[in-house]
Amino acid sequence: MKNSHLHFNTSIGVKKPESIRNKQAACPFCARDELVNLIEVDGPIILLKNKYPVLENAYQTVLIETDDCQGELSTYEHSHLHRLLKFGIRKWLEMDQTKQYESVIFFKNHGPLSGGTIAHPHMQIVGLHDINYKENVSDEIFEGITIEEKDEVRFTLSTKPKVGFYEFNVEMADNIYIEAFGEYLQIAVHYILNNFPFRANSYNLFFHHYNGKIYAKAVPRFITTPLYIGYGIPQVPNNLHWMADDLKSKYLIS
């Protein structure tokens, strides 16, 4: 039985610790000795079962990115960035290949407007038993202005964004991890947090395994436009070329 809506368990939801807004709360991901249900560990990187599985009909895991609570993907050393993304993508695709799920999603929330609750850098890999996220995906949401292309990795700014405004995309083939993929993704996130003209403190990453490719979408988060909430109409700003050039001049032209 397929489903169009993912069900959220509110009684588990209220028990979840909150460390993004409540700075006094102890960080559960720093208490490494107390973590249970570990799935795989690679040095400071830990994949484990989510202690608060708020989603019904889903298998929820958490990927703790580092043992540094103040760390952030935008500032990781390249060696750690690649180690993390290789590990995360491998575990995500492995879960997909078990065929136990209708689809498997891999994403990251960062900052108060991202929907995240715990500040310690982490991502999530979630197997959905009755929802195929790919049904809501089309080629055009990954199309856009090419910012740069290297080693068969493409870095673009969406011209037909899924929700609207600014969506950065990085794509590579699904058979081998290429370092340019991680580096472009890191640049997108660093630009969002530090050089974005509209001051973003929150972003999401959404990975997609689609048509033989791996896509990562980096989305700065603001208050969502009412036209999208009310009517599902995504808006496209008229300064995309300016932004692609601005990013290029700050990060890619030496």
Residues that bind Zn ion (CB under 5 A): 27, 29-30, 69, 120
Residue (118 or 219) nearer to Zn ion, CB? 118
- Kindly state the smallest distance separating residue 63's Cβ from Zn ion, in Å: 14
- In angstroms, how far is the first alpha carbon of the chain from the final one? 53
Residues 6+ positions from 9 with CB-CB distance below 8 Å: 53, 54, 55, 56
- Kindly state the smallest distance separating residue 88's Cβ from Zn ion, in Å: 18
List Cα–Cα distances, 99 to 53, 93, 116, 130, 144, in angstroms. 20, 10, 28, 12, 32
Which residues in 231-240 are b (16+ Cβ under 10 Å) and which e? eeebeeeeeb
In this structure, the strands spanning 103-110 and 58-64 are unpaired
- Kindly state the smallest distance separating residue 120's Cβ from Zn ion, in Å: 3
Residue (64 or 85) nearer to Zn ion, CB? 64
Partner residues linked to 60 by β-bridges: 126
Residue (30 or 240) nearer to Zn ion, CB? 30
Residue (27 or 236) nearer to Zn ion, CB? 27
- Kindly state the smallest distance separating residue 89's Cβ from Zn ion, in Å: 23
